[in-house]
Structure 1
Amino acid sequence: MIQAEIKSLLREDISILIKITNSAKHYLCDCGEASLLTVKEIQSVSAVFISHTHIDHFSNFDGIFRHQIGSGEKVVICGPKNIHHQIEARLKSYTWNLIDEKAIEYEIREIISPEEINVYMLRPPYWNLELVKTQNFLFEDDQVKVDFAILDHKTASIAYLFKEKDSVTFHEEASGFRKGRWISELKTAFEKGDSDKEIEMEGTVYKAADLFHLLTLNPGYKLGVIMDHAAKEENYEKIKTVFNKADLIYIESFYKDSDQEFAKINYHSFASASGKIMKDCQVKEAIPIHFSRRYTESDVIEIETAFYKAFREN
């Protein structure tokens, strides 16, 4: 199952670590201050997802990189338009005469549109960008698939949805057959929708469709991170398209309702607006995050109260 941990304390800039149960791989959403993020966790990060490069979301990239250099691993970085130039500039600002060219490899995925992702490679010691390809999906590995929405924050701000792979359960007690290779063949046919696939069991050949009743599809858990965005309908339509009926969403609620004029000026959301869009998306659980650093703990309680009232009201 996918789990998320906020690694930033109150009044620190936001950073969220995403973990998969029984997996050594981690994913990091944004690189703000993160007092609770350990070196071991950083070294387990295989992909970094940047919403946008305002300083409070990007300032700690160098700190993250500091603990990855020398791993010899490939780390994927996803982010908005021009993220490749910004990563390149950060890396080229240091001297690398003592670093081996195999110390690390960054694969940067620049989000141009929902259908256009430019993929670049960056390697030490010169950190010269190499455009590798353009693809129509953002990220997928053996654990998760990541979808996204490009929101307006007076700059592109990427909201990410992490979806665990679907699983298929075989109901042995209902089959009446001995276990065998046929079970994996049946699951594969089920996943591919190959109803006519022939499955042989105990000397008899069956069509896969006649055995599908022995299987149950378990939809993968869906966890979203929605960072800075203006509280406006254009953004809400994009959020609904990608995050509808997600299991858990962390969503920016930067301002109190009484400060929503500031939210409008600064292209941020505010407590009840974030709660309402989560209700409209019919998500199972939602958590407000990323509050203005001007606020005290009592202000945060006020934000959370207004958020959950809007999220849960009938």
Structure 2
Amino acid sequence: MLQAEIKSLLREDISILIKIPNSGKHYLCDCGEASLLTVKEIQSVSAIFISHTHIDHFSNFDGIFRHQIGSGEKIVICGPKNIHHQVEARLKSYTWNLVDESAIEYEIREIVSKEEINVYKIRPPHWDLELGTTQNFLFEDEYVNVDFAILDHKTDSIAYLFKEKDSVTFNEYASEFKKGKWISELKTAFENNDSNKEIRIEETVYKASDLFHLLTKSEGYKLGVIMDHAVCENNYEKIKTIFKEADLVYIETFYKDEDQEFAKTNYHSFASASGKIMNEFEVKEAIPIHFSRRYTENDKLEIETAFYKAFREN
């Protein structure tokens, strides 16, 4: 199951680390100040997901790539329109005469729309952008698929949903057959919906569909991160489409209810509004995050109380 950790202290800018259990692979959501983020964790990040490039979500990008340079890895950066130019500007603001192009490669995926993702590559020492392809999906690796919604924060703000790959398990106690490579063949046939695939067990050939009852499909865990967004129906429809019935969602809850006029002015959410939509969209577990730095620990507790009251309301 995917695991997420908030790496920022109360009055620091937001950053969330997502880990794959039993793997050295991590994903990072936003690059705000993050005192709890270690160098080792940064060096394990294979993909960075930027909601938007307001300073409180992007200020620590330099600190991130500082510890990635020299790894020789390809690291994916996903973000809103113009993210490629902003990454390029940050990288070109330093002198790189002691670094060659094998030190690292960034693949930048610019979210233009739900159907249009521009893919760029950029390498040291000159950091010149190369436009590669345009694709209609954001991110997929051996562990997760990542879907997204483009929300309004008076600029595009990308909300991300990480979905683990569905798993297929074999029920050995329901089988009379000896284990063998036929099990993996059966799983492949099941995943490909190839019911007529011939499966040989010892000296007998079976139709795959006759053995599917030995398998159980478990839906992958769904973890969402919804950063800054205005309280409005258009945003909520987009959130519902992507995040309905998610297992866990971290959601921006910038203001207390009593400060919701500030939320309206600044295109942010507030405590009970975020809790209410998580309830309405049947999210199983929700965690409020990213509070205004004006607030104290007591204010944070007030926000969380209002949020969970709205979230758990029947």
Q: Deviations over 1:55-81 (max 9, x none)?
A: 000000001111111111111000000
Question: Taking every aligned residue pair, what percent have the same amino acid on both sides?
Answer: 83
What is the DSSP-based 3-state SS (H/G/I as helix, E as strand, rest coil) of the residue aligned with 1:308?
A: helix
What is the DSSP-based 3-state SS (H/G/I as helix, E as strand, rest coil) of the residue aligned with 2:276?
A: helix
- Matching residue of 2:220: 220
- Matching residue of 1:6: 6
Cα displacement (A) at 1:197: 1.2
Report the residue type matching 1:50 in the other structure. I
Q: Deviations over 1:36-55 (max 9, x none)?
A: 00111101111000000000
Report the residue type matching 2:169 in the other structure. T
Distance in 2 separating the partners of 1:102 and 1:180: 43
- Matching residue of 2:148: 148
TM-score, normalised with respect to structure 2: 0.99
- Matching residue of 1:113: 113
- Matching residue of 2:272: 272
- Matching residue of 2:313: 313
- Matching residue of 1:246: 246
Where do 5+ consecutive residues of structure 2 fail to align?
A: none
Distance in 1 separating the partners of 2:25 and 2:126: 28
Alignment of 1:163-178 (within 5 A): 163-178=163-178
Q: Deviations over 1:148-194 (max 9, x none)?
A: 11000000000001111111110111111111111111100111111
Is residue 89 from structure 1 mapped to residue 86 from structure 2 by the alignment?
A: no
Distance in 1 separating the partners of 2:164 and 2:272: 29
Q: Which runs of 4+ in 1 moved over 3 A?
A: none
Report the residue type matching 1:220 in the other structure. G
Distance in 1 separating the partners of 2:160 and 2:242: 9
Distance in 2 separating the partners of 1:209 and 1:275: 44
Cα displacement (A) at 1:269: 0.4
Distance in 2 separating the partners of 1:207 and 1:238: 43
Q: Deviations over 1:69-112 (max 9, x none)?
A: 11111110000000000000111111111111111100000001
Report the residue type matching 1:206 in the other structure. Y
Distance in 1 separating the partners of 2:194 and 2:12: 51
Cα displacement (A) at 1:198: 1.4
Distance in 2 separating the partners of 1:201 and 1:67: 51
What is the DSSP-based 3-state SS (H/G/I as helix, E as strand, rest coil) of the residue aligned with 1:64?
A: helix
Distance in 2 separating the partners of 1:100 and 1:118: 25
Report the residue type matching 1:14 in the other structure. I
TM-score, normalised with respect to structure 1: 0.99
What is the DSSP-based 3-state SS (H/G/I as helix, E as strand, rest coil) of the residue aligned with 1:162?
A: strand
Distance in 2 separating the partners of 1:40 and 1:237: 38
Cα displacement (A) at 1:273: 0.5
Report the residue type matching 1:191 in the other structure. E
- Matching residue of 1:123: 123
Where do 5+ consecutive residues of structure 1 fail to align?
A: none
Distance in 2 separating the partners of 1:32 and 1:172: 47
Distance in 2 separating the partners of 1:202 and 1:121: 50
Alignment of 1:130-141 (within 5 A): 130-141=130-141
- Matching residue of 2:234: 234
Cα displacement (A) at 1:199: 1.2
Moved more, 165-174 or 118-127: 165-174
Q: Aligned pairs, how many?
A: 314
Q: Deviations over 1:181-240 (max 9, x none)?
A: 111111001111111111122322221111111100011111110000001110111111
Distance in 1 separating the partners of 2:173 and 2:55: 57
Distance in 2 separating the partners of 1:65 and 1:253: 28
Moved more, 191-200 or 8-17: 191-200
Moved more, 248-257 or 92-101: 92-101
What is the DSSP-based 3-state SS (H/G/I as helix, E as strand, rest coil) of the residue aligned with 1:102?
A: helix
Moved more, 262-271 or 200-209: 200-209
